[in-house]
Amino acid sequence: MTVKSKIEEIIRAIGAMDVGAAEAYHALSGRSRKKVLEALDGEGLRSLTRLIKEAKRNSFNAAEKRFSAAAKGDIATPVYLIDETLIEENMRVLRYVKDRAGCRILHALKAYASFATFPVMSKYLDGVCASGLNEARLGREEFGKEVHTFAAAYSEKEIGQIVKHSDVVIFNSFHQLREYAQEMRKRGLETGLRVNPGHSEVTARMYDPCAPNSRLGVACKAFKREYPGHKEMIDGLHFHAMCEQNSDVLERVLKSFEELYGQHIHGLRWVNFGGGHHITRDNYDIERLVRLINKFKKRYGAQVYLEPGEASVLNAGVLISTVLDIVKNRTEIAVIDASAEAHMPDVLLMPYRPHVMGSSPAGRRRYTYRLAGPSCLAGDVMGDYSFNDPLQRGDKLVFTDMALYSIVKNTTFNGIGLPDIAVMRKGGRIDLVRSFGYSDYRNRQS
């Protein structure tokens, strides 16, 4: 079949709302995908978005079986099991946003840095954003594309290495910009400034980069005072104000950002809209995101970057754990070999209740248990869950959505061993890519 007839067939399939059109679209070359998009009107584009979401949903639904089969097998626990097929599904959605909006998308390493799956990710994305030297180096060495680094402050001793491993360095103050930007620009890097966009809707204070007195991003007043004297050192502006949010929130953040900084955007090479865009979530409004980016680019002529972390690996990995013991103190408590404190710290910090496959909230099913970690921390508890059958020692439990902000944040508190990291490859083979032992614990002490 010629490329032309392939494209025509896909356009027909989109018109017929045939979900196979999504798969066929993803398999095309960049040039052919562009042709498909050019041939579609507004309704056709919206249909394609719906089909892409449906195809992704089908793939995620099918993966549940793979995860439970893996848990029923002889896999050693605790283990983070990452599904490469699901990561690729997320990547396809992110690339679709790039196709539609002509923006660039970086993966935020702070959310997920398991480089065993970078080959699948780097095919789709433009690079990574790093929070400092180690992430910048990992991005440079393992991802191999653009590296944009932002830290709230850089130390003198690291800055040389940061230059070596970054393409873009974003500063959090005019002071640090003055200290370092000239030299970086001489060495071919681009430099930018993070600003406070003046609006956010993150309800958990801990995660709100624009909370009162926030250190993250230059405040507008200081920006207005100092920007004219530093203009020549700034290729782009960066803001980050969101957390697990939809594009309606971005619209309001952007409105505030433009009101505060709009007159200074013309002439910049890029504006980075930060992370927190939950683009790969089922109910995310991709059409609005595309509209916002296209409008912004047209108005200011600047490239737009997004740097989501969660969205890259949303729902693409689980933590499988084994019930070690069951004790009773008013309620039945299952002590498992994974720790909320050490292996899924956001459960306690956010806090949130992770989902366990085959469970419901307490009391909904016949047998209710409190699930708790093996540490000495009284609050090392995931929550109360109910099951159809009584839990037994040796049963495996599958905590979902554990690829993000878990592996990168885990600790060896109490000397508890770190979970293995395993990747389920396309086709179903499970590769144990890393296991940890006593030396990993010992090497972090002195």
Ligand X SMILES: Cc1ncc(COP(=O)(O)O)c(C=O)c1O
- Where along the sequence are the contacts to ligand X (CB under 6 A)? 108, 110-111, 129, 150, 240, 243, 274-276, 307-311
In the complex, least distance from residue 86 CB atom to ligand X, rounded to whole angstroms: 16
In the complex, least distance from residue 242 CB atom to ligand X, rounded to whole angstroms: 7
In the complex, least distance from residue 399 CB atom to ligand X, rounded to whole angstroms: 19
Angstrom distances, CA of residue 401 to CA of 181, 250, 315? 39, 24, 4
The whole-angstrom separation of Cα 230 and Cα 312 is: 34
In the complex, least distance from residue 329 CB atom to ligand X, rounded to whole angstroms: 37
Which residue, 208 or 395, is less far from ligand X as judged by CB? 208
Which residue, 250 or 311, is less far from ligand X as judged by CB? 311
161 membership: H or E segment, kind and range: helix 156-165
Which residue, 249 or 319, is less far from ligand X as judged by CB? 249
Angstrom distances, CA of residue 86 to CA of 5, 81, 143, 178, 318? 29, 12, 18, 43, 11
Question: Does a cis peptide bond (omega within 30 degrees of 0) precede residue 351?
Answer: yes
In the complex, least distance from residue 36 CB atom to ligand X, rounded to whole angstroms: 28
Give me the residue whose beta carbon is nearest to ligand X: 275
Enumerate residues 6+ apart whose C-beta is below 8 A from 374.
Answer: 324, 335, 336, 337, 339, 380, 414, 416
In the complex, least distance from residue 256 CB atom to ligand X, rounded to whole angstroms: 17
Which residue, 234 or 320, is less far from ligand X as judged by CB? 234
Which residue, 317 or 374, is less far from ligand X as judged by CB? 317
Reference 264, options 307, 295, 230; nearest CA is 230
In the complex, least distance from residue 118 CB atom to ligand X, rounded to whole angstroms: 16
The whole-angstrom separation of Cα 150 and Cα 140 is: 15
Angle at 122 between CA 118 and CA 128, to 5 degrees: 85
Which residue, 3 or 153, is less far from ligand X as judged by CB? 153
Q: What is the DSSP letter of 141?
A: I
Q: What is the DSSP letter of 88?
A: H
| Cα within 13 Å of Cα(193), Cβ side | 28
Is-contact 368 392, C-beta < 8 A?
Answer: no
In the complex, least distance from residue 426 CB atom to ligand X, rounded to whole angstroms: 24
Concatenating the DSSP letter of every residue in 361-427 gives: ETTTSSEEEEEE-SSS-TT-EEEEEEESS---TT-EEEESS-STTSGGG---GGGPPPPEEEEE-TT
The whole-angstrom separation of Cα 91 and Cα 85 is: 10
Which residue, 11 or 304, is less far from ligand X as judged by CB? 304
Which residue, 227 or 273, is less far from ligand X as judged by CB? 273
Which residue, 92 or 110, is less far from ligand X as judged by CB? 110
Q: Given the structure tokens 């003198």, which residue do they identify? A: 156
- N-term to C-term CA, the chain: 64
Which residue, 70 or 87, is less far from ligand X as judged by CB? 87
Strand, helix or coil at 309?
coil
In the complex, least distance from residue 276 CB atom to ligand X, rounded to whole angstroms: 4
Which residue, 48 or 138, is less far from ligand X as judged by CB? 138
The whole-angstrom separation of Cα 243 and Cα 203 is: 9
In the complex, least distance from residue 277 CB atom to ligand X, rounded to whole angstroms: 6
In the complex, least distance from residue 94 CB atom to ligand X, rounded to whole angstroms: 11
The whole-angstrom separation of Cα 299 and Cα 262 is: 10
